Every structure is written in C-alpha cells, then in structure tokens.
Amino acid sequence: MDLANDGGEIGMKRKWNWPIWVGLVVTVGGLLSYGFFAQFPITRDFPWANLLLLGVGAALLILGLFRAFGRPQLYRGKIFGSILTAIVLFLFGFFSYQIFYVLHQVPLSAQAPRVGEKAPEFTLLDQNGKQVALADLLSGSRVVVLIFYRGFW
C-alpha cells in the first residue's frame, strides 16, 4: 500500500482559510470607522454602516469556522478561527451595548427651555473669563440668540 497516494491526505498542505482573516479585518474596520461615520447625520443617528460591516465580518468568520471544522484536512483555522470569532462576538456585543444602551442614558431635558419660551436669567463666563449676564445682553438690543447644546459629559 502506497501511503503517499492514500486519498491524497498525507503530505497535503492545508489551504489558507481566507474568510477568517478577511472577516477579522472587516470587523475591526467596522469598529474603528465609527468615528468617521459619526460625522454624517445619516450614519450618526443610527450606525447602520458600522452594524453592516460588523455583520459581514461576523458572517465571514462563521463561514471560515464552518470551513475549518467541516474540512479540517483541507483548511486551517480551527483554533485561530474560534478565538477570533469569540473576540469579534464580544466586540460586537460591547459596541451594541455602548451604542444602544450607554449612549441613551443621557439625562432628560425636561427643565430645558422650549423654542420661543423666555429664557431664565443667568450669568456665565465668556471666553475671556469675564462674567456676562443675559440682562446685560438684552439691555443693548432686543434680541439675543441662545443655543443650547444638549449633551452629557
């Protein structure tokens, strides 16, 4: 019996499992691109582009795992693929937690003045550290434009 020709398995080099590595790159790109996509209103309010990249990356990783476990004699990646998929799923969960839970914990703005409502009297520091009161601004003119940024720091 010739061992070298027994099904072609002995001496055969396993192939590179590209979906695992491409999935990792796409997923990391989806995570790191949030700062870029947050510049545009269409992707800032709901991060669909990031979620799409994360989903494609996770699908590629899972495809790579199926290849590695389904045909281990042909494809590499059972160990690395499992570890990378677990890391990616953790990062996907952490990203989702931050976007859909933590960022929505901004305090309510029930006490903020509404459009057209008279602003309460206040005194604040200007860019030079000098105190400026709303009454002082109104004494020189009839109109003052106030812009309120709702945020949480």
* Alpha helices per DSSP H over 33-133: 34-37, 41-44, 48-70, 78-100
Q: Provide the mean pLDDT of the chain.
A: 83
3 — pLDDT class (breaks 50, 70, 90)? very low
150 — pLDDT class (breaks 50, 70, 90)? low
- CA distance linking residue 151 with residue 105, whole number of Å: 11
7 — pLDDT class (breaks 50, 70, 90)? very low
21 — pLDDT class (breaks 50, 70, 90)? very high
Residue 11, classified by CB atoms within 10 Å of its CB into exposed (0-12), middle (13-18) or buried (19+), is: exposed
108 — pLDDT class (breaks 50, 70, 90)? low
- CA distance linking residue 28 with residue 48, whole number of Å: 15
Tokens of 146: 């106030």
Q: With 80 as the cut, is the pLDDT of residue 147 above it?
A: no
Tell me the mean pLDDT in the region 119-136.
88
Helix (H, G, I), strand (E, B) or coil at 15: strand
pLDDT score for 151: 58
